[in-house]
Amino acid sequence: MVDRDIPLQRQHFGQTVRRDAWWVQPLLVFLGLSVFVVYSTWAAFQGKDYTWGPYISPFYSPLLFGDPLHSWLGPGPDWLQVWFSPALLILWAPAGFRLTCYYYRGAYYKSFWADPPSCTVGEPRTRYRGEHSLPLILQNVHRYFLYLALLFLVILSFDVWKAMWFLEPETGRVSFGIGAGTLVLAINVFLLSGYALGCHSMRHLVGGNIDEMSKVPSCFFAYRCTSRLNARHMLWAWLSLFSVMFSDVYVRLCSTGIWSDWRII
Ligand code: FES
């Protein structure tokens, strides 16, 4: 058998022997993430129309200062309400969680930085620096954002519970009910849970440090559950991204009177 040296040839930017439409997926990712970033930035700076009845937009929860019906610390000083949107205190945490997510990193490196544009497609750089030097080494804080995300899941679940208690205008009493908005917020929490609980760091958290997991049944069970979710992490990531945006749209349109909430029960 004869050994032959075949020199590796560096591909030019965009050069590939692939014949499939490899550019479609990065393009869709670029469009999807751009829509979300533009909308969420706009919504975060509005500072109003983020509640309706018992509903609160997930972009504004937990609400520290603001709408007295929903805020934890009351309306806050007047200057704060005029100059500051409460969403700005909150959104850095879920944004950091998504920005450092293993799936999104792979997706936006390709679609925004063309690094590389897709597998086996030539990239514009000649040096590979990876994630072991600044600034990308900071992506390793992902596990800490996971802890915050788990806290947010608890808070958003409590918002769903509160979204079941409506103030009746005729009697002035609060009664149990379910509106279309309750379902929108509940589905949002379900999808966010599927995303966060299937996180790679979650797998490590529930069992990654145990050598023989089968000897710790509770960890083994949790590890198998999170691995199941992890297998579809990309799907959960996109569904939850759009559900959180739609939840804000729903509450905002109810608040501005463009949509009427449908009271199911
Ligand atoms: Fe995607 Fe952690 S890896 S949320």
CA of 164 to the centre of ligand 1 (A): 30
Kindly state whether residue 230 falls inside one of the protein's structural domains. yes
Query: 129: domain range?
Result: 24-255
Which of 200, 227, 241 to mutate to test ligand 1, by most ligand atoms within 8 A of the CB atom? 200
Ligand 1 atom nearest to CA at 195: 4
- Number of domains observed in the structure of the chain: 1
Q: What is the pLDDT of residue 1?
A: 64
Spatial separation of the C-alpha atoms in residues 234 and 111, rounded to whole Å? 15
Kindly state whether residue 128 falls inside one of the protein's structural domains. yes
The whole model's pTM is what? 0.92
Kindly state whether residue 18 falls inside one of the protein's structural domains. no
Quick: pLDDT tens for 10-32: 778 888 888 899 999 999 999 99
Kindly state whether residue 138 falls inside one of the protein's structural domains. yes
Q: What is the pLDDT of residue 7?
A: 67
CB 31 within 8 A of CB 216: no
Q: What is the pLDDT of residue 116?
A: 85
Kindly state whether residue 63 falls inside one of the protein's structural domains. yes
Kindly state whether residue 16 falls inside one of the protein's structural domains. no
Kindly state whether residue 4 falls inside one of the protein's structural domains. no
Q: What is the pLDDT of residue 68?
A: 83
Ligand 1 atom nearest to CA at 101: 1
The partner residues of 166 in beta bridges, in order of sequence, read 175
Residue with tokens 């804000």: 248
**Positions of the chain with pLDDT under 50:** none
Site residues for ligand 1, CB cut-off 6 Å: 101-103, 142, 146, 199-201, 233
Amino acid at 212: E
Kindly state whether residue 36 falls inside one of the protein's structural domains. yes
